[in-house]
Chain A
Amino acid sequence: MNLPTVQFTKEQEVFREEVRAFLQGELQKGTFQTKCDSWLSGSDPGFSKLIAEQGWIGMTWPKEYGGAERSSIDRYILTEEFLAIGAPVAAHWFADRQTGPLLLRFGTDYQKNFFLPQIVKGECFFAIGLSEPNSGSDLASVRTKAEKVEGGWIVNGAKTWTSNAQDAHYMVTLVRTEPVSEKKHQGLSQLIINLKSEGVTITPIRYLTGEHHFNDVFFDNVFVPDEMVVGTLGNGWAQGLAELAYERSGPERILSTFPLLNEALEELKRQQDFEGLTEASKLIAELWSLRNLSIGVAKVLEEGGEVSVPAALVKSIGTKFEQKIPEVVRLLLNVYPQLQADRALDRYLAESTLHAPGFTIRGGTSEVLYGIIAKGVLAG
């Protein structure tokens, strides 16, 4: 598998500096505190609003919807800077990463005109409704049902593991619009459900840190108007798969525990620990290699190429790498992992250790991804 190499242009380097200066400024002002895994566990609608004011939500989208028509590489740089500094970007994350591209590709004019400008302004957040109770990795086993009524659909069922539903306004929800046939992938559709609708109940599933970012979302006779069907009825599976490519290959599959690695290296430098730096170099070489691959996928995505296999590859290797960082760091330095620790290193280690098991599960387990990669490789 050969992916293109990307050398950033001067303009892109300047943009990176601009983003970095902004984030450093906000960090120093105390607008936020650096956190590992901030793209999932750091939801701050106020901060998202601030990001929107910079023109940094939906920045690759067409200008007619409020976007800036910038390149995916610019967006890649922006995302990396958010993650490297551990900024709380979870509130707008899913709308920016998935819902926007989904609507641009499959949405109606009404949907694009209605949602995209609100998303860009940081006023409209989305959750992604895929998993269901007991569905696990078998996504096609969706049972949440939408039945046709006058002017719309009545939805009944439940979604689970829905990140950030508590702060989201809407959810792109995969539902069954036809009875289950032998082919489980057929008859699925994507509906946009207003989470403030009557009949929607959101209850938290607390993560093992005690934090709230997952939710159960229940639908009890929820009415969804016809204009909220995304794309083609019955085509939900194919549309959902297209979304997954955006979800799997980004910097968030590599950098979730980067603040810890960065801080560990600073600490080793402070202690003038030559041996420790020698050991740490291996992690950094891995990070560099993975980043090349991930940027290569971004480039292919930008050019409209097919990336499902390399994206699965980046995710499966990247998330293992994210998990490895806390395990190596604790052997290199004296640490005491504690979520409330005064010392950043101890705090980041605690966050990284407790968040790590989720990395290789969310967005497709490693085992499912291995299957996708192997099939791609055998077909090639």
Chain B
Amino acid sequence: MSEMKDMIIEVVERIFKEKVEKETVDLLEANQWAEDVWQLLLENEIQQVAVKEEHGGAGGDYEDLFHLYRLVGKYAVPVPFIEHTLANLVLDIANIQPQTELSTVHLVTKPLDMADGKVSGSLQHVPWARYAKKLVTLATEQGKQSLILLDLKDASIENHTNLAAEPRDRLQFTDAKILASQPLTDEQHEFLTKLQTAATVSKMAGAIDRAFELSVQFSKEREQFGRPIHRFQLVQQHLAVLAGEQALSGAALENILALLLKEEAADEIAFARLKLDDASRIVATSAHQVHAAIGVTHEHRLHHYTRRLWAWRDEDFHAKYWKKELAKKWLHSSNTLWDTLTKKKQVEHI
């Protein structure tokens, strides 16, 4: 963890607290985003966190960056911060110059077809593409995968949204020019899937933090039968369940970030993603039950978080993907479950 972390987190959380009102988030429904928040982040060089200094970065490591993603989730900030910075992080890893122009990243679905330095094909559910100038994605040529950088001017874009009204656009490329490319080994590709998954886990953990906080706050303020509802045992049960899922999600995130930094994250990324999938369901259910009728209206902000959790759990490298990855691995593994969980392998090569 870099020493800058606390300072960066504090600055960014202050910006989000002051600038991201409920109305700010609601504007996404009308296809508007919080450009003023984006500008503030730019002025504070927050988009440069975790970019290497030789690439014009501001220092910090990617643990810092993922903690910012948790805040983006916690405040449901309607800006493509995660997409832009993750695109640059991925470029940085592939030794391609990070972009100052607004960029987005899309690493899943079927990669585009590449031939003679050009790509064709379509991509679904690309986050924030309508606002971005550049796209970082994958392409294949004769079975070999590359990370590529594209100009979104070359795409035809159809606007779509996810459950939370976040932009998830459909793109079509026909013989589009590749601005930069880097062939990927299987290991590098796997690492990118882990990075993308850690980003998703981060923002989901943030949304869970907030759904939990809102529920605690509501249970103190709302009175029924002459007393605050937190006095009722069944409401307390929901609060305890929410507290548990919040703690589990936070711990899962912190653990994978610690392992990623040491480059030791293996199955843990999958475990964390699976846990967040489950936690999203439990948290959304209990938070809505605590809030009761007001929580299912557009007037209350709880839906900013529960809708995001429902949307995010099915995006990117989701639980179904990771369950299969784990099963494939175990099918041929001679390690017992306990060996796997306790990383016996590490000891063998001391």
Residues in chain A within 8 A of chain B (CB atoms): 1-3, 5, 7, 10, 13-14, 16-17, 80, 84, 258, 261-262, 265-266, 268-269, 272, 274-275, 277-279, 281-282, 284-293, 296, 310, 313, 316-317, 367, 369-371, 373-378
Residue of A whose beta carbon sits closest to that of B344: A17
Nearest Cβ on chain B to A296's Cβ, whole angstroms = 6
The reply to whether the CB of B230 lies closer than 8 angstroms to some CB of chain A is: yes
Known A-B contacts A262-B337, A373-B244; the reply to A277 vs B252 at CB < 8 A is no
- A377 touching B272 by the CB < 8 A rule? no
| Known contacts A1-B246, A313-B243, A377-B240, then 9 further A-B pairs from the complex at CB < 8 Å, ordered by chain A residue | A2-B247, A7-B259, A10-B347, A13-B347, A282-B323, A370-B233, A370-B239, A376-B243, A378-B216
Known A-B contacts A288-B271, A373-B244; the reply to A296 vs B347 at CB < 8 A is no
The reply to whether the CB of B338 lies closer than 8 angstroms to some CB of chain A is: yes
The interface residues of chain A lying within 8 Å CB-to-CB of B327 are 274-275, 277-278, 281
A-B contact pairs, 11 of them (CB 8 A): A1-B246, A2-B251, A5-B258, A7-B258, A266-B336, A278-B324, A286-B274, A286-B278, A313-B240, A317-B248, A377-B243
Known A-B contacts A289-B251, A290-B248; the reply to A277 vs B330 at CB < 8 A is yes
Residue of A whose beta carbon sits closest to that of B217: A378
Q: Which of A265, A284, A292 contacts B251 (CB 8 A)?
A: A292
Bound-state Cα–Cα, A291 to B235, Å: 27
- A265 touching B237 by the CB < 8 A rule? no
Known A-B contacts A281-B327, A288-B275, A377-B216; the reply to A16 vs B342 at CB < 8 A is yes
Residue of B whose beta carbon sits closest to that of A309: B243
Bound-state Cα–Cα, A6 to B247, Å: 15
Q: Which of A17, A275, A374 contacts B347 (CB 8 A)?
A: A17
The interface residues of chain B lying within 8 Å CB-to-CB of A265 are 330, 336-337
Nearest Cβ on chain A to B161's Cβ, whole angstroms = 29
- A281 touching B237 by the CB < 8 A rule? no
Most buried by B among A1, A3, A289, A293: A289
User: Number of contact residues on B: which range applies?
Assistant: 35 or more
Nearest Cβ on chain A to B333's Cβ, whole angstroms = 7
The reply to whether the CB of B268 lies closer than 8 angstroms to some CB of chain A is: yes
| Contact residues of B between 215 and 272, Cβ < 8 Å to A | 216, 219-220, 230, 233, 235-237, 239-241, 243-244, 246-252, 254-255, 258-259, 262, 267-268, 270-272
The interface residues of chain B lying within 8 Å CB-to-CB of A289 are 248-249, 251-252, 271-272, 275
The interface residues of chain B lying within 8 Å CB-to-CB of A370 are 233, 236-237, 239-241
Bound-state Cα–Cα, A274 to B270, Å: 17
Bound-state Cα–Cα, A237 to B23, Å: 51
Bound-state Cα–Cα, A373 to B274, Å: 25
Bound-state Cα–Cα, A163 to B8, Å: 52
- B274 touching A282 by the CB < 8 A rule? yes
Most buried by B among A277, A281, A285, A291: A285
Residue of B whose beta carbon sits closest to that of A292: B251
The interface residues of chain A lying within 8 Å CB-to-CB of B267 are 288
Nearest Cβ on chain A to B230's Cβ, whole angstroms = 6
- A262 touching B338 by the CB < 8 A rule? yes
Known A-B contacts A269-B331, A281-B274, A288-B268; the reply to A1 vs B336 at CB < 8 A is no
- B347 touching A377 by the CB < 8 A rule? no
The reply to whether the CB of B350 lies closer than 8 angstroms to some CB of chain A is: yes
How does the 8 Å CB contact mask read for B308-329 relative to A, with 1 for contact and 0 for none?
Answer: 0000000000010011101110
- A293 touching B251 by the CB < 8 A rule? yes
The reply to whether the CB of B7 lies closer than 8 angstroms to some CB of chain A is: no
The reply to whether the CB of B142 lies closer than 8 angstroms to some CB of chain A is: no
Residue of A whose beta carbon sits closest to that of B338: A84
The reply to whether the CB of B30 lies closer than 8 angstroms to some CB of chain A is: no
- B347 touching A2 by the CB < 8 A rule? no
Q: Which of A80, A268, A290, A377 contacts B239 (CB 8 A)?
A: A377
Query: 7 tightest A-B contacts by CB?
Result: A285-B274, A374-B236, A277-B327, A370-B240, A373-B240, A285-B271, A288-B271
Bound-state Cα–Cα, A15 to B248, Å: 27
How does the 8 Å CB contact mask read for B263-301 relative to A, with 1 for contact and 0 for none?
Answer: 000011011111100100000000000000000000000
Nearest Cβ on chain B to A22's Cβ, whole angstroms = 15
Bound-state Cα–Cα, A282 to B342, Å: 17
Known A-B contacts A272-B331, A291-B341, A378-B219; the reply to A316 vs B271 at CB < 8 A is no
The reply to whether the CB of B346 lies closer than 8 angstroms to some CB of chain A is: yes
Nearest Cβ on chain B to A52's Cβ, whole angstroms = 24
The interface residues of chain A lying within 8 Å CB-to-CB of B241 are 370
Q: Which of B216, B219, B252, B342 contacts A292 (CB 8 A)?
A: B252
The reply to whether the CB of B110 lies closer than 8 angstroms to some CB of chain A is: no
- A284 touching B271 by the CB < 8 A rule? yes
Bound-state Cα–Cα, A210 to B254, Å: 44
- B341 touching A13 by the CB < 8 A rule? no
The reply to whether the CB of B144 lies closer than 8 angstroms to some CB of chain A is: no
Bound-state Cα–Cα, A101 to B236, Å: 31
The reply to whether the CB of B153 lies closer than 8 angstroms to some CB of chain A is: no
Nearest Cβ on chain A to B125's Cβ, whole angstroms = 24
The reply to whether the CB of B343 lies closer than 8 angstroms to some CB of chain A is: yes
Bound-state Cα–Cα, A203 to B312, Å: 56
Bound-state Cα–Cα, A288 to B342, Å: 10
Bound-state Cα–Cα, A10 to B350, Å: 8
Residue of A whose beta carbon sits closest to that of B320: A278
Known A-B contacts A7-B258, A277-B331; the reply to A293 vs B248 at CB < 8 A is yes
- A5 touching B254 by the CB < 8 A rule? yes
The interface residues of chain B lying within 8 Å CB-to-CB of A288 are 252, 267-268, 271-272, 275, 341
- A284 touching B243 by the CB < 8 A rule? no
Bound-state Cα–Cα, A287 to B241, Å: 17
The interface residues of chain A lying within 8 Å CB-to-CB of B346 are 13
Bound-state Cα–Cα, A374 to B240, Å: 5
Q: Which of B233, B244, B250, B350 contacts A2 (CB 8 A)?
A: B250
Bound-state Cα–Cα, A13 to B342, Å: 8
Bound-state Cα–Cα, A330 to B326, Å: 21
Bound-state Cα–Cα, A57 to B342, Å: 22
How does the 8 Å CB contact mask read for B184-209 relative to A, with 1 for contact and 0 for none?
Answer: 00000000000000000000000000
- B252 touching A378 by the CB < 8 A rule? no
Most buried by A among B239, B246, B344, B350: B239
Nearest Cβ on chain B to A304's Cβ, whole angstroms = 20
Residue of B whose beta carbon sits closest to that of A276: B327
The interface residues of chain B lying within 8 Å CB-to-CB of A84 are 338
Nearest Cβ on chain A to B73's Cβ, whole angstroms = 15
Most buried by B among A13, A371, A374: A374
Nearest Cβ on chain A to B242's Cβ, whole angstroms = 8
The interface residues of chain B lying within 8 Å CB-to-CB of A316 are 240, 244
Bound-state Cα–Cα, A84 to B344, Å: 14
